[in-house]
Copies of this chain bind each other. A is one copy, B any other.
Amino acid sequence: MIVSGGELDYPKERFFIPTDMDHRKEQLKFMDMELWYTEKQTPHFGITAKISRTLHHEKTTFQKIDVIETEQFGRMLVLDGMVMITDRDEFVYHEMLTHVGMNTHRSPKRVLVVGGGDGGAIREVLKHPSVEKAVLCEIDGRVIEVSREYFPEIAGALGDSRVEIRVEDGIKHIEAHPGEYDLILVDSTEPVGPAVGLFQKPFYQGIFDALRTGGVMVAQTESPWFNRDLIAQVYRDISDIFPVTRLYTASIPTYPSGLWSFTLGSKGPDPLEVPPERLRVPDTRYYSPELHQALFQLPRFVKELMVQKER
């Protein structure tokens, strides 16, 4: 638990508070008279970052929200003890969740982001001039408000006139909007708490139905080092439903193992077959057309996760 308030006022001694989550524990403690935040990313491994300030703490209906300022990665948004975004490396996650799918679709006009209350995915979506409407469907409105306050450069895009914000359950939203979207991005937390359903097959079937002809989905699907069963399961589920399924990865240092996976499902267009001249790249620091084409050549230990059922 991260104690709220701008000024730190902890006892100058070992400080350790386990939380109610049993697979991960957050800790805030003094090491050598400095304050450090440790995220146990697995029961046996984690990252630790020096904190200069604690900016925000609250417990909402859905989760705990913390904002801390670290020296290495700038501000960090932490949900239920898991790092969601940081100032320094959020560009990788948001670009890679968004542009691969945007460029796979011929001309995405209506885009849905499920989760992603920080606004980073929406910011990237809006860089594509084809977009007429971008819907953000976030279950926890407080994530949106906290992000607007502490991450204005990320959440600022939420004020764009093309954006519609819906504070509601993504699963229900998708059920209620069949055949409505060209692209759906699943920008979820990890598969605990409110996000569990976002990693299950009925949700992917719902996405399929909510997509128009030629529609594309991309979901964040965790670490190829630590979440191998989950990636393999999601790949199987999506390839059962969509005619085209592709897996790719990106380097995100504050996420478990530093390597993150994304799974793309498509009703038609294949990201491997987009002509180079159609790979639009608006102002990115990670994604590029050359990278798009190289992205699907995966290391062997990742490639072996892509096993489809016999059809």
Contacts and interface: CB of A to CB of B under 8 A. Distances in A.
Interface of A: 13-14, 16, 18, 25, 27, 31-32, 38, 42-50, 70-73, 89, 91-92, 224-225, 249-253, 257-259, 284-288, 290-291, 293-295, 297-301, 303
The listed residue with most B CB atoms (<10 A of its CB), out of A14, A252, A284, is A14
Nearest to A292: B297
Contacts of A31: 16, 27, 38
A211 to B, nearest CB: 28
A71 B45 CA distance: 8
Nearest to A13: B14
Copies of this protein, total: 2
17 contacts: A13-B14, A25-B32, A27-B31, A43-B50, A44-B70, A45-B49, A47-B47, A47-B48, A89-B225, A91-B301, A224-B251, A252-B258, A253-B258, A287-B300, A288-B303, A293-B294, A294-B295
A290 B300 CA distance: 10
A18 B16 CA distance: 20
Contact of A299 (B13, B71, B286, B303): B286
A16 B32 contact: yes
A291 B18 CA distance: 42
A32 B50 CA distance: 20
A22 to B, nearest CB: 12
A252 B259 CA distance: 8
Contacts of A286: 299-301
Nearest to A281: B300
B285 A291 contact: no
B297 A290 contact: yes
Contacts of A297: 288, 290-291, 293-294
Contacts of A18: 32
Contact of A285 (B253, B287, B301): B301
Given A44-B50, A71-B44, A286-B299, A259 B249 contact: no
Query: Which are the 10 A-B pairs with shortest beta-carbon distances?
Result: A258-B258, A294-B297, A294-B294, A44-B71, A45-B72, A253-B257, A251-B259, A44-B72, A14-B14, A44-B50
A297 B288 CA distance: 9
A239 to B, nearest CB: 20
A121 B20 CA distance: 44
Given A25-B32, A251-B257, A285-B301, A44 B49 contact: yes
